[in-house]
Amino acid sequence: MNAKYKSVSKMIAATFCVPAVLWAICCVALYGVMRRPPERFGQIMARVPEQVAFLVLPFETLWMHARAGTLRVGDPAPDFTLAKLDKSEHVQLSSFAAKGKPVVLIFGSYT
């Protein structure tokens, strides 16, 4: 009788533990994918079924942690270079700071 309970408990443990371990492995893998550059992230996610990514795994929670960044309120903006609208030359953010000019960055659509 004792052997029967042991085999049943092993079966129950396997029934719950194996899916839990697989879920945890998938969460870690998805988090790793989210930490990659956007182009690579898009290539990989194009192959993942939506039901798995959004219904089974905690997509939004992982995304918020993976893409949180390290900037905080009051930190200086990272330096970067952008092309002018007419594409005649590139402008670097630090060039404005060196001149003491204020800079306003607008991210979004004008339409």
The pair of three-digit structure tokens given for residue 5, joined into one six-digit string: 């309970």
36 domain residue, yes or no: yes
Q: How far apart, in whole angstroms, are the C-alpha atoms of residue 29 and residue 39?
A: 17
In a domain, 62, yes or no: yes
Query: pLDDT for 24-39, tens place per residue?
Result: 999 999 999 999 998 9
| Residue 44 forms part of a structural domain | yes
pTM score over 0.95: no
> When comparing pLDDT for 19 and 110, which is higher?
19
The pLDDT tens digits for 58-105 are: 999 999 999 888 888 888 888 889 888 898 999 898 888 788 878 877
pLDDT, tens digit, 9 for 90 and up, residues 1-24: 566 767 888 888 888 888 999 999
CB neighbour list of residue 84: distance below 8 Å, 6 or more residues apart: 90, 91
Domain span at 37 = 2-66
Q: Give the total number of structural domains in the chain.
A: 1
Within-domain flag for 98: no
